[in-house]
Structure 1
Amino acid sequence: MSRLGRSWTGAVLATAAVGGVTAAMGPSAAQAAQNDTAPGYEVIASGLNNPRGIAVLKDGTVLVAESGTGMPGCAAGTECVGATGSVYRVGGGRSSGRVVTGLKSVAMGPKSPQEPVSATGPNDVAPGPRGTFVVLNGGGGNLEHRATLGEDGRYAGTLYQSRSGRVLGDLVKYETEADPDWVLGHAPTPQEPTTAHSNAWRFAQTRTGWLVADAGGNDLVKVPGWGRPSTETVFPDSRSADGKPVQAVPSGVVVAGDGTIYVCDMGALKPGASRIWKIVPGHKPEVFVNGLTALSDLALDSKGNLVALSLTGGYTQTGPLPGKVHKVDTRSKEVTEVPTGDKLSMSTGLGVGPDDEIYVTNKSVGTNGELVRITP
C-alpha cells in the first residue's frame, strides 16, 4: 500500500497550492485564438471539476471523468460525500457538456474559500452498452474507511455502470480481503496502521473484462465480466535518484491489439523513479522503460507506440515543474518529449485521438480544470 496511492490528492493539493491553482469559472468551450499558448496547444474545455481520466472514441468524441467537488457546504476539515461527480463530453459533432451527472464524489471541506477542493470520485470512464458508461471511482481506502462514508460512499473504489449503478468490480473489498502487495513487506506505521488501502486509478477493457491499475494497492487487478476480481500482477518498489526504495503507485494501463499490456507507475512522485511495464500474456512483467518522473497516465497511438503523461517534471521550493508528454517507440524504446510550451500543470489524464492528436486533463485539482488538445 502506498500513502501517495491512498491519498495522492493530498500531495498534489499541497504542491498545487504552492503553484497557485485557483478555483474559477463554469464549463465553457475555448477557442485556440483566445489562448496565449504554444502552437499545437489548444484549450477545448475549461471550468472542469477535478478532471481525471479520458476516453477518446472512434468518432473523435472525448469523454472526461470529473471527480466533482464533494458535498457543497461540507464543514472545514470534514470528509463528505456529494453527488457532484460527472462525465463531460466534447466533440463528436455534438454540443459539449456534462452527459452524466450526480455521480458520487468525496472531498474534505476546504478550510478557506481560496483553497481548491480536491475530490475523489470518477477517475476514469469508457462507453458502456446501450448508451451507458463504465465509470471507475477512486478512493475508498479499505472497507473500514468506506463504512465511515455511509451509504452514499458505497461506490468509492468500484468499477460500475452508470444509470443502473451495477457494480462490476469492488476494488476496495478485494484489496481489504486479499491485500495483494503484502508480499512486498511494507510494514504498518502509526500513520497507516493497515497496509490494505485501495485507490483505483485507471482501467482498460480486455476481451473478457477489465484491468484496473490500483495506485494504493500497488497492483493490477483483473475484473472479469462475472465473478470475483483477481490479481494480475503486483508491482515491486522502484528506486529514487538517491537510491532509496519507493513504492510503485501504478497509474495508467493500456492493452495493445496483440494483447500486450502496458502499465506506468508514478514512482511515488520521485524524480526518475517512474517506470513503464510490459506484460506479455503468459510471461512475467518486465520493465520496458525507466528513468521517467511522476507518470500519471498512458495511451497508445495509431502506430502502436506509447504516449505517456507526467503529472509534473519534478518539484522545487516554489512549486511543481510543468507536466510533460512523452512518446515511446515500442520497437526501439526511444523516448522523445512532445513540446507543450510548459503549459501543463498538475496534468493527470491522457487520451489519443483518431489523427494521433493528444488530449490531456490539465489543472486537475479544483474547479478550474481544463481539457487541452496537443497536435504534435
Structure 2
Amino acid sequence: MSPVKHCHVMPSSAEDEGGGGTTRTCSDHDGTRLTHVSIISRTSESEETHPDSNYQTTRTRHNELAHRRMSAASRRPRTTHRRVPGPARRAGPAPYYARGAARTLVSARLSAPGGGARVFDNRIVRRVTQVGLAVALASSLSGVTGYASSAGTATVRVVAQGLNNPRGLAFGPNGQLYVAEAGTGGSSCVAGPRGQDCFGRTGSISRLVDGHVHRMVTGLVSVASPGGQGATGPDGLSQRPDGGLYTIMTASPQQLPPGLPAGLTEALAAQLGQLIRVNTNGDYTAIAGVGAHDFAWAKRHIALVPQQFPDANPYGVLALDNTIYVVDAASNTLDRVGPDGTVRVLAFFPNPPVSDAVPTCLARGEDGALYVGELTGGGNALGAAVVWRVVPGHKPVVWQSGFNAITGCGFGADGSFYVTEFQTGGLGAASPAGDVVRIAENGTRHVLGAGQLFLPNGFLAGPDGSIYVSNWSVMPGTSTQGSPTGQVVRISA
C-alpha cells in the first residue's frame, strides 16, 4: 500500500537562501502504523559572519589559491573528490564494495551542467555495474560473517548481522545498543552520470538485543545502487545526556532529482539533510534543516571551492546537553545546532590542493575541544587523513595525522582516542580491509581488528572498555550468493 501523507505547512520568520522558513507537520500512514512527523527549519541570521576570527584572511587565501588552481588546470591533471584517483593502474570496474564509498561518505553532489537537471552523483569512486567480482570476493570471505577471533590482545565478536548498510552507533536511554541503518534505497531509480540511483524509504533506526534486530523507526529515506549496496540515508547517530537519540540525514532538499513519484519526492524534501530526534516508541521529529542550511552556505561561499560548491552532505552528529554538532562531508563544515533549531557554521576545514577535507566524525574531549576526523585528506594518498582539533572561535588545527579513510572516531573509557579506518589501503583500494587505531594518552598507537574488520564505520565506546563499530557498512542485510551483510561488532581487550 502506498503511504498516505497529510501535511500542514506554516511560514516562519526565518529565511535563508535555498532552505528554512517553514514549519511542516505531517502524518504518514503506510497501512500498518501512523507516524506523526514535525519538520522545523530555521537558519542563523548571522551566517555571513564566519565564527573563525581569521576567516576573512582564510577566505582571501582560498580565493587566491582557487584562481591559481583554475589557471593551472590545463597544465596538470586535476584529481577532485568526485572519484578515487587510484589505483590508476587497475583496469576495469572498481571492487564491488567501493560503490558504496562515494554515496556513503560524500554523496549527493548537485550536478547541473549548463543548467540541466539536478541529479545525485557519485563523487569519489566509479559505479560498479558488474557483480562477478562481488560474488568471487564474497565466496573467498564466506567464513568471515560468523567469526569470533582476535588480533593481538583484541577480540572481535559479531553483535548483530543482517543489517542494511549500518553506520552510526549509540546507546539509548535504556542502555541498549542502537544503530542507524542507511537502508537499501528503493524501486524508484533515476539515471546519474555514473549509473542509477535508487530512492526509497528503507532507512531505519534499530535496537539490537541479544543478536536480534528490532527496527524501531522505519520509513526514513534512502538512496542506493540498484542492488542496495552503498546506501546513504540516516548516517550519524548520537545520544544526548538526557537520553534523547538524534540521527542526521544525508544531502539536502536542494539536491532532489526530478522524475520521482510525488509521494516519494515529498518525503525526500521533508527528510533530506534533516537533524532528526527519534523516540523509542517509533516516532521521530525533524528539528533542523542542516543540509539545506549547508547547501545555502556553500552557495554563498562558492569561492572557497569553486569547482565543487554548492554541496551538502551532513554525516556525523554529536549530541550534547544544550547543543548538537554536525559535520558535513560535502560543505566541509562543523555546524552547531542550537536548542531552537538554529544552525550556525563554526568552522570550515581547509581544502588540500586536489580534494576537500570530507569530515566524517566528531567527538568532544575532556578539554572541551571538538575532535573531527576526515575521510581522505585530499587526493586519497596513503596516510593523508587527519584528526582536527577545534576550539570554537579559532581555526581548526591538525591534532593527529597518518590515517586512511576515517569514518568513525571518539574517546574511550580509558581516555584513549579511537579512529575507525574504512580501508587501510586508502579509499577505493582493492582490499576491503579496515581497522581501528587506538591512540593512548601518551601518544602510543595500537591497531585493533586487523584482519577482522572490513569497510568499518562509526565508533561507540562501551562503559567496560569495549568498543563497537559497524562492519561491512556498505552492504545490505540480505545476502546474495554468500556475500557478507551489514554487521555491528564488539571489540574488547
TM-score range, shorter chain: 0.7 to 0.9
CA deviation string 1:21-54 (max 9, x = no partner): 7999xxxxxxx99526336111111111010111
Determine if contact 1:293/1:313 at 8 Å carries over to the other structure: yes
Aligned residue identity for 1:307: Y
Q: Please show how residues 179-258 of structure 1 align to structure 2 within 5 Å.
A: 179=298, 182=301, 185-188=304-307, 195-238=309-352, 245-258=354-367
Change beyond 3 A, Cα 1:365–1:15: farther
Indicate the SS of the match to 2:407: strand
Q: 1:168 aligns with which of 287, 292, 303?
A: 287
Unaligned segments of structure 1, at least 5 residues: 25-31, 239-243
User: How many pairs align?
Assistant: 350
Q: The residue matched to 1:187 in structure 2 has which SS?
A: coil
**Is residue 2:369 matched to residue 1:260?**
yes
Q: SS of 2:336's equivalent?
A: strand
- Mapped partners of 2:216, 2:288: distance in 1: 20
| Counterpart-to-counterpart distance in 1, 2:249 and 2:360 | 14
TM-score (norm 1): 0.80
Shift of 1:356: 1.4
Q: What is the one-letter code of the residue matched to 2:361?
A: G
Which blocks of at least 5 consecutive residues in structure 2 are unaligned?
Answer: 1-79, 83-101, 109-121, 139-143, 477-484
Counting only pairs closer than 5 Å after superposition, residues 6-17 of structure 1 correspond to structure 2 as: 6-7=107-108, 11=125
CA deviation profile, 1:68-95 (whole Å, cap 9, x unmatched) = 112247578554432211122224xx77
Superposed counterparts of 1:20-99, under 5 Å: 20=134, 35=147, 37-38=149-150, 40-56=155-171, 61-72=176-187, 78-91=196-209, 96-99=212-215
SS of the counterpart of 2:271? coil
Q: In the alignment, which of 204, 227, 233 is matched to residue 121 of structure 1?
A: 233
For the 8 Å contact 2:405–2:427, the answer to whether it is kept is no
Alpha-carbon separation, structure 2, partners of 1:106 and 1:89: 19
Choose from 263, 275, 280 the match for 1:159. 275
Cα separation, 1, equivalents of 2:363 and 2:208: 22
Distance verdict in 2 for CA 1:259–1:128, change over 3 Å: closer
Q: State the one-letter code of the partner of 1:145.
A: L
Q: Distance in 2 between matches of 1:98 and 1:22?
A: 31
1:275 is matched with 386
Per-residue deviation, residues 132-163 of structure 1 (Å, max 9, x unmatched): 632211133x6143677610202111101235
- Shift of the alpha carbon at 1:340? 1.3
CA distance in 1, matches of 2:427, 2:360: 23
- Alignment counterpart, residue 468 of structure 2, candidates 348, 359, 365: 359
1:246 to 1:318, Cα distance in 2 relative to 1, 3 A: closer
Structure 1 letter corresponding to 2:416: N
* CA-atom RMSD in angstroms: 3.5
1:136 alignment counterpart:
248
Q: Output the CA distance in 2 between the equivalents of 1:252 and 1:291.
A: 16
Tell me the residue number matched to 2:45.
Answer: none
Distance 1:33 1:293, change over 3 A: closer
Write the deviation string for residues 290-345 of structure 1: whole angstroms up to 9, x where unpaired: 12111111111113321110001115997135112111234x4x241333141211
Show the counterpart of 1:241.
Answer: none
Residues 249/203 of structure 1: CA separation in 2 closer, same or farther (3 Å cut): same
Counterpart of 1:85 in structure 2: which amino acid? G
Q: Which residue of 2 aligns with 1:27?
A: none
What letter is aligned with 1:98? H
The answer to whether the 8 A contact 1:51-1:64 is kept is yes
- The change in CA–CA distance for 1:129 and 1:35 in structure 2 (over 3 A counts) is closer
Q: Percentage identity across aligned positions?
A: 26
More divergent stretch after superposition (257-266 vs 360-369): 257-266
Query: 1:264 is aligned with what amino acid?
Result: G
Distance 1:177 1:148, change over 3 A: farther
Q: Secondary structure at the match of 1:313?
A: coil
Tell me the SS of whatever aligns to 2:451.
coil
Deviation at 1:175, TM superposition (A): 1.6
2:397 equivalent in structure 1: 286
1:180-220 CA distance string (max 9 Å, x none) = 893763222xxx6xx11111111102332210010011111
After superposition, the Cα gap between the structure-2 partners of 1:317 and 1:260, relative to the gap in structure 1 and judged at 3 Å, is closer
Report if aligned partners of 1:171, 1:200 keep a CA contact under 8 Å in 2.
Answer: yes
Closer/same/farther in 2, CA of residues 208 and 307 from structure 1, 3 Å limit: same
Find the aligned partners of 2:159 and 2:127 in 1 and give their Cα distance.
Answer: 24
1:129 and 1:199, CA in 2 relative to 1: closer, same or farther beyond 3 A? same
Change (3 A) 1:128 1:317: closer
Q: Equivalent residue of 1:344, what SS?
A: strand
Q: Is the 8 A contact 2:239 2:319 kept in 1?
A: no
Contact in 1 for aligned 2:363/2:372 (Cα 8 Å)? yes
- Asked whether the 8 Å contact 2:405–2:426 carries over to 1, the reply is no
Aligned to 1:314: 425
| Bigger Rg, which one | 2
Is the Cα–Cα contact under 8 Å of residues 215 and 251 in structure 1 kept in the other structure?
yes
Q: Is the 8 A contact 2:146 2:158 kept in 1?
A: no
Q: Could you tell which deviates more after superposition, 245-254 or 32-41?
A: 32-41
- Structure 2: how far apart are the matches of 1:361 and 1:217? 25
Shift >6 Å, 4+ stretches: 15-19, 21-24, 128-132
- TM-score, normalised with respect to structure 2: 0.63
Q: 1:108 to 1:86 in 2, by over 3 A?
A: closer
Structure 2 contact 322–338 (Cα < 8 Å) conserved: yes
Counterpart AA for 1:136: I
Please give the alpha-carbon distance, in whole angstroms, between the structure 2 residues aligned to 1:365 and 1:294.
14
Q: CA deviation at 1:283?
A: 3.9
